[in-house]
Amino acid sequence: MVKFNKSELKWLIILLGLTYYIYMLLATRRIYYFIHPRMIKYTTISFIFLLLLTLIQFRRLFTISHNRKISFSIFIIPIILGILVNPQGLSGEIAGKKKLTLIENNNVKTTKQNNIPLDTNNTNPLLVITSSNFTHITDDIMYINTNKYIGQKISIKGFVYKDATTSKNEFVVSRLMILCCAADAEITGLLCEFANASSFNTDQWVTVTGTIGKKSHLYSGETQEIPFIEVEKVELTKKPAIPYIYPE
């Protein structure tokens, strides 16, 4: 007579937990806190494989198999924590431990777009930066075609970031950029000059409106001319549901 196999039940619980966790990440879009959207298809494939393995494991519950000694908690505790803990994403303070580059960087890829359309007829004088065009336009402003944007009115949304390179009347309006996964997240954004900059705290989400200019800035012991926003207005805003940006 074939007996119920407790060891196989443990593996079934582990597979059920993993399968449900991946499903929950995909269904709630929390997966975007961890990886670039182009990686979602691989996560979906892994979910399908886990689902198949779980179904196969059901059949093994009443089969004769060798008892496998495992530490159940090694697998089940992180699964439970993953399901119960609501991810909030990286903060600027944590990501800021990586170097933020505001001056021209010779390592910037030359393949970045340098033909961002700008309204030269001034029929729409306000350049609005959104999540979809954030990296293209800010990179174009900072590294490629800086002079093209001098005097341009701009509106940009992001979180306030400050470090040792920003003065009391400066902050960076920033976004966290994910190239592959959360482990390689980097801060990107534009330097802002505002008389009341000290009244805003790091990680506060704001919408900044102002005019792009150029100024000398000391960064890593080197003074260079960099673009900045001469701020006219700062409005507090809500953190977006997906706070990261994902360059192509």
The residue ranges of every structural domain in the chain are 6-84, 92-245
Q: Which residue has the tokens 């005097």?
A: 151
Residue environment code for 124-161, b if the CB has 16+ CB neighbours within 10 A, otherwise e: eeebebeeeebbbbbbbbbbbebeebeebbbbbbbbbb
CA dihedral 240, 159, 138, 192 (to 10 degrees): 150
What band does 197 get if pLDDT is binned at 50, 70 and 90?
very high
Q: SS3 sequence, the chain?
A: CCCCCHHHHHHHHHHHHHHHHHHHHHHHCHHHHCECHHHHHHHHHHHHHHHHHHHHHHHHCCCCCCCCCCCHHHHHHHHHHHHHCCCCCCCHHHHCCCCCCCCCCCCCCCCCCCCCCCCCCCCCCEEEECCCCHHHHHHHHHHHCHHHHCCCEEEEEEEEECCCCCCCCEEEEEEEECCCEHHHCEEEEEEEECCCHHHCCCCCEEEEEEEEEEEEEEECCEEEEEEEEEEEEEEECCCCCCCEECCC
Strand 153-161 to 170-177 pairing: antiparallel
* 76 phi and psi angles, rounded to 5 deg: -75, -35
pLDDT of 113 higher than 60: no
Q: Give the global pTM.
A: 0.71
Of 9-13, 15-19, 39-43, the range with the lowest mean pLDDT is 9-13
What band does 112 get if pLDDT is binned at 50, 70 and 90?
very low
pLDDT of 248 higher than 90: no
| Residues 171 and 160: beta-carbon distance below 8 Å | yes
CB within 8 Å of 119: residues ≥ 6 apart: 125, 127
pLDDT of residue 107: 38
* 37 phi and psi angles, rounded to 5 deg: -55, -30
Average pLDDT over residues 10-31: 90
Radius of gyration of the chain measured on its C-alpha atoms: 24
* 39 phi and psi angles, rounded to 5 deg: -90, -5
pLDDT digits (tens, 9 = 90+) for 182-194: 777 888 999 999 9
Structure tokens that stand for 105 in this block: 């960087």
pLDDT digits (tens, 9 = 90+) for 120-164: 444 458 999 999 899 999 999 988 999 999 999 999 999 999 988
What band does 96 get if pLDDT is binned at 50, 70 and 90?
low
What band does 89 get if pLDDT is binned at 50, 70 and 90?
low
Q: Which CATH architecture has domain 92-245?
A: Beta Barrel (2.40)
In order of 103, 200, 215, the CA distances from 219 in angstroms are 7, 22, 12
